Amino acid sequence: MAGDTLPTLVDLIPPSWRNHLVDLEDHLVKIEREIEGEVRRGKQVLPDKRNVFAALALEPQSVKVVIVGQDPYPDRRYAIGRSFAVPNESIQLPPSLKNIFREKLEDVGGDTPSADLMQWQRQGVLLLNRTLTVNEGESNSHQGFGWAEVTNRICKISAEFGAAAILWGKNAGELSHLFNGRVITGVHPSPLSAHKGFFGSKPFSRVNELLRKPIEW
């Protein structure tokens, strides 16, 4: 994420979201300074800067469901800027994504989705992390940088356009009040917690009941 030739975080906000986030531009400048400090300390920051707002390729009015994760995978092989998604060429899937696919197949059947989850995004699923950057190998390392204010706003705007949400884990569950009852909360799919209520929770069929047009998970 270093280099003078790269655009700023503000420049990278997709046009369809810019008006909704314009009052947070100074806040994003502060976040960028925090990230630059990590780079100066020799840290590798993930995902690639141009993918920090990859989830926002989906326009606000097109969002049907928001799935909220914690922060990017702290592994350069996996971090692509959309929560839980990894590159299709990944030889081995992260455990959380494996558990999501297992629950999806048991809940609504069908085929296993592509690892990059683009077939979900194309149907209006916004794959958003609460924190949008991370140091390689250090989960939660950017949690205190102020990303929550930005991603809370993204969720609020999505909800105002009528989106429902799937919120897994305590961190994501803090956003439930934004969705006016159109929300499914539950245990995080991480191997540390999945057996405490994630498996068998049927989040995909339950959120589809909230939608005018169901998602083909």
Q: Catalytic site residues?
A: 71
Alpha carbon dihedral 211, 110, 104, 121, in 10-degree steps, equals -60
Burial of 112 (0-12, 13-18, 19+ CB in 10 A): exposed
Residues 6+ apart with CB under 8 A from 150: 21, 24, 27, 28, 31, 132
Burial of 105 (0-12, 13-18, 19+ CB in 10 A): middle
